[in-house]
Structure 1
Amino acid sequence: MSSTEPTTGTVRPYGDTTGDGMVQLSFTLPLPLGPRAEGAALQLARRMGMDRPLLVHSKAVGGTDFSFFVVYGAVTHAVELSEVEVAERDYPLLSAKECDAAIDVRLGRPLVVLGACIGTDAHTVGIDAILNIKGFAGEKGLEYYKKMRVLNLGAQVAVGDLVRRARAERADAVLVSQAVTQRDAHLTNVRELSAELRAEFAEDERPLLVVGGPRFDASTAASLGADRIFGRGTTPGDVASYLVHALASEAAAVPAAVLEGVA
């Protein structure tokens, strides 16, 4: 968190002037486009706390049975910053060379990482950004790390198959990316995977379960049975540093003599 970022006080959305509360809201109603649907859209906006909402766009979608709306107006709500809870990073960020050195000192062997998209999820962009050597946001993926053995199993991997592969490969960590969220499929899949990992492995042998995706809430890791949840904007360095922190608990304190010349 930036040292200049405020942590107390009340904030409202900014549109034309500070604190005017102006927001833009878009949604779809299961009604054919017309005066009744437009009236329903405005009433919904008012009930959501929008003052004097304006209907700025409407369009029929899905044939004639649905309507899409964009509404603009001022919300009456405000947020007290002191009541906002965020998941702070509780481990240091390490370079690739520092991670390799830490793994070498604390584990004395390569750190084994399995990655996959599970269930029906075929969106591999996220898992590839973390694992593939080309990486993301100017950082090399985990395949670049000399002391990590990375296996990217790709898309639509069955939970049972992933658990069996984790056993066969003696995985230290299982990384799962989930982008398909219809009917909370991402939550169901993670809970199922967590349960099967715990059934297959003794607690002191179980690989870390690390989950990523744009619709996850980092604060729900424990309730889903995951060890860590990463959201939008996560880089390979974030994940690598966490794995080193969690799997080699003293890695962040590797003696300076070991790190000398690797930075």
Structure 2
Amino acid sequence: MTATHASREASTTPQPTVVRPYGDMTGDGMVQLSFTLPVKHDKRAEGAALQLAGKMGLSPALLVHAKAMGPSHTFFIVYGSVNHLVDLAAVEVVERDFPLLPAKDVNASIKKTLRRPLVVVGACIGTDAHTVGIDAILNIKGFAGEKGLEYYSEITVVNLGAQVLVPDLVEAAREHGADAVLVSQVVTQRDAHIHNTTQMSAAFREAYPAGEVPLLIVGGPRFEEGSAAKLGVDRIFGKGTTPGEVASYLVHALCTPTPPERKSA
């Protein structure tokens, strides 16, 4: 069978609706997971790791790695088989509901609709000092081969950087007349990204009249894409988001004749 024939056959093979993980052979249910226990590294700690793996449904479970993390913590990797099945039909996915536009179309739409530059204020809030994500979207050098929002002639970018207090973000948004506020959150210990985001959305609702709150967008690797309404923001972007996606969403939300209902309205 030629490679082309094999590829064509694979593309036409129906996808299963129920699947099981596998490691060595199809359907063996093998998975690998890692975790840390607050115990010093000894035989008792290794036994505790295997006990936890058993309670999680791994049977049999094999301890493949254990390493002390200081005097009172141990990091483990376990490998074992699970009986659980995955129903693909029950998986909920947030689909992109706007078209991806080239830069020239983004600029043209903003110029035609707003008749002025679209103002975007971006920052990492709270104690978060990880600016790689926000810089990848805003800075002209961009990400994944795409130029950042600074590249767009009809977008004015104000990048406040890291560890910005929420009141300062609100003040900057008001000062610059922000149409949209982009916030990146990478630090997730104790759900810091959730607390910071809800605090931010509440502060903007308090500072602006109803219906005049800027578009609130957050991004980070640990956000649940379907939780925008619960957090009080308009959009959540996950890992791998490109500047072009954000620019296209800004046009979709702010430059369409009848923009979608805003959470702040």
Considering the TM-score relative to the shorter chain, is it more than 0.5? yes
Other-structure match for 2:180: 173
CA, structure 1 residues 241+27, in 2 after alignment: closer, same or farther (shift >3 Å)? same
Tell me how far apart the structure 1 counterparts of residues 13 and 36 of structure 2 sit (CA, whole Å).
35
Given that 1:244 and 1:251 are in contact with CA atoms closer than 8 Å, whether structure 2 keeps it comes out as no
| Superposed counterparts of 1:66-105, under 5 Å | 66-105=73-112
- Select 1:24's aligned residue among 23, 32, 40: 32
1:251: Cα distance to partner? 9.4
Other-structure match for 1:48: 56
| Superposed counterparts of 1:100-139, under 5 Å | 100-139=107-146
| Superposed counterparts of 1:147-226, under 5 Å | 147-226=154-233
| Segment drifting more, 12-21 vs 100-109 | 12-21
DSSP 3-state at the match of 2:60: strand
Given that 1:8 and 1:82 are in contact with CA atoms closer than 8 Å, whether structure 2 keeps it comes out as no
For each residue in 1:183-210, what CA deviation from the matched residue of structure 2 results, as whole angstroms up to 9, or x when unmatched?
Answer: 1111000000000100111232110110
Other-structure match for 1:258: none
DSSP 3-state at the match of 2:59: strand
| Segment drifting more, 92-101 vs 30-39 | 30-39
Percent identity, aligned pairs only, is: 66
Tell me how far apart the structure 2 counterparts of residues 27 and 175 of structure 1 sit (CA, whole Å).
33
- Select 2:249's aligned residue among 226, 234, 242: 242
1:19: Cα distance to partner? 2.0
The amino acid that maps onto 2:252 is: H
Tell me how far apart the structure 2 counterparts of residues 200 and 132 of structure 1 sit (CA, whole Å).
28
Tell me how far apart the structure 2 counterparts of residues 20 and 119 of structure 1 sit (CA, whole Å).
45
Tell whether 2:78 aligns with 1:59: no
Tell me how far apart the structure 2 counterparts of residues 98 and 88 of structure 1 sit (CA, whole Å).
22
| Superposed counterparts of 1:248-259, under 5 Å | 248-250=255-257
The runs of at least 4 aligned residues of structure 1 exceeding 2 Å deviation read 3-8
